[in-house]
Amino acid sequence: MIVAIVGPTASGKTAVAIKLAKKLNAEIISFDSLQVYKYLNIGTAKPVPAELRAVKHHLVNIVNPDAEFNAGTFVRLAEKQITALDKKRKNVVLVGGTGLYLKALLEGLCPAPPMDKAWRAKLSAQAKKYGNRYLYKKLLKIDPVAAAKIHPHNLPRLIRALEVYYLTGQPFSSWHRQTIQPAHRARLIGLSWERQILYDRINRRVEEMFAKGLVKEAKAIIRKGYSPKLKPLQSLGYRQVYQYLAGKITLPQALELTKRDTRHYAKRQLSWFRRIPGIKWFRLNGNIDNKTLKMMTRYGRLKN
């Protein structure tokens, strides 16, 4: 049995996943693209040690911040864990906010070639010299279908789309029409909040992150020798803190920008998850009560 908990940031996914895992004799596999990284704890809202002990978690704290990690890596590791848990007669609760990872696991990956360091270095250099829009215009000419789905500021996805085209001669969008058939089916549970309540939760979470030492954590990561330009360290919270540490903005500005950008991110997450068919949405107004938990448990136990 596989149950997936989805929802925007600050919607309470971790708490629900732990409660459901206990009810379903399950262990948790995270599909969060940032919680895989060591040292990024506060800024990723990573489960605290007590939560990690309450139910066994997988794919959390497994790679260093400078490691390459993508949807393909996630699927390979998640498949391995699912197989291992099945042998132990354990169920699986998937939880996270990276919709692309969940989609890849349940719907299959496109069989595009793996990343090519030479092309990535070349395209990154072009972006640095001419700007992201230079790459976006290139993509628009050779693959308008892919360009329509990629924001001009999303440099990693721009580079990936161009990389695949230059490696294969085929547009990235044509590769996405081909998929490796998925091996798993899951019951999908979505956590829904009234928008203003969700935004209030986000604002409080960001304030707590800064109060708990996000700036100190960001400094410690740099002292370990990691560049703030690394992709994980350009994520929400860390990006704004490093701007503050570089003297580009004040600390209050970093706090408010993190709140604003996290709210925008939550909106994009909701749009993504709402495009996934088959999600059973549960409307929450506070801490999950026993009635709602029982409903989720019954739904999770239904056969696919």
Q: What is the 3-state secondary structure (H, E, C) of 196-264?
A: HHHHHHHHHHHHHHHHHCHHHHHHHHHHCCCCCCCHHHHCCCHHHHHHHHCCCCCHHHHHHHHHHHHHH
In a domain, 73, yes or no: yes
pLDDT, residue 57, reads: 97
Average pLDDT of the residues of the chain: 91
User: Do 98 and 155 belong to one domain?
Assistant: no
The CATH number linked to 137 is: 1.10.20.140
Token look-up 């996914």 returns 13
pLDDT, residue 183, reads: 63
Tokens of 159: 């580079």
In a domain, 145, yes or no: yes
How many Cβ atoms are within 10 Å of 232's Cβ, its own excluded? 23
Q: What is the band of 41 on the pLDDT scale with cuts at 50, 70, 90?
A: very high
User: Do 24 and 138 belong to one domain?
Assistant: no
In a domain, 257, yes or no: no
Tokens of 155: 């440099």
* Range 226-239 average pLDDT: 95
In a domain, 88, yes or no: yes
pLDDT, residue 285, reads: 82
Number of domains observed in the structure of the chain: 2
User: Do 17 and 91 belong to one domain?
Assistant: yes
* Range 37-48 average pLDDT: 97
User: Do 24 and 172 belong to one domain?
Assistant: no
For 46-103, the pLDDT digits (tens) are 999 999 999 999 999 999 999 989 888 999 999 999 999 999 999 999 999 999 899 8
User: Do 196 and 83 belong to one domain?
Assistant: yes
Calculate what percentage of the chain has a pLDDT beyond 90: 71
* Range 207-217 average pLDDT: 98
Q: What is the band of 30 on the pLDDT scale with cuts at 50, 70, 90?
A: very high
- Given 131, 158, 176, the domain boundary residue is 176
Higher-confidence residue: 115 or 13? Answer: 13
Q: What is the DSSP string of 182-199?
A: P----EEEEEE--HHHHH
Residue 177 has pLDDT above 70, yes or no: no
Higher-confidence residue: 103 or 38? Answer: 38
In a domain, 99, yes or no: yes
Q: How far apart are CA 28 and CA 18, in angstroms?
A: 8
User: Do 168 and 186 belong to one domain?
Assistant: no
Q: What is the DSSP string of 51-71?
A: HHHHS-EESSS-B-TTS---H
Q: What is the band of 149 on the pLDDT scale with cuts at 50, 70, 90?
A: confident
pLDDT, residue 182, reads: 58
User: Do 60 and 159 belong to one domain?
Assistant: no
The CATH number linked to 6 is: 3.40.50.300
In a domain, 186, yes or no: yes
In a domain, 258, yes or no: no
Higher-confidence residue: 288 or 160? Answer: 160
* Range 99-126 average pLDDT: 85
* Range 121-135 average pLDDT: 91
User: Do 132 and 187 belong to one domain?
Assistant: no
Which residues make Cβ contacts (< 8 Å) with residue 40, sequence separation at least 6? 34, 46, 65, 217, 221, 232, 233, 235, 238
pLDDT, residue 134, reads: 93
User: Do 144 and 60 belong to one domain?
Assistant: no
* Range 290-297 average pLDDT: 88
User: Do 6 and 147 belong to one domain?
Assistant: no
Quote the domain boundaries for residue 171. 117-176
In a domain, 11, yes or no: yes
pLDDT, residue 10, reads: 94
User: Do 84 and 34 belong to one domain?
Assistant: yes
User: Do 87 and 7 belong to one domain?
Assistant: yes
Q: What is the band of 220 on the pLDDT scale with cuts at 50, 70, 90?
A: very high
Residue 111 has pLDDT above 80, yes or no: no
- Given 176, 197, 220, the domain boundary residue is 176
- Given 157, 176, 195, the domain boundary residue is 176
How many Cβ atoms are within 10 Å of 222's Cβ, its own excluded? 13
Calculate what percentage of the chain has a pLDDT beyond 70: 96
Q: What is the band of 304 on the pLDDT scale with cuts at 50, 70, 90?
A: low
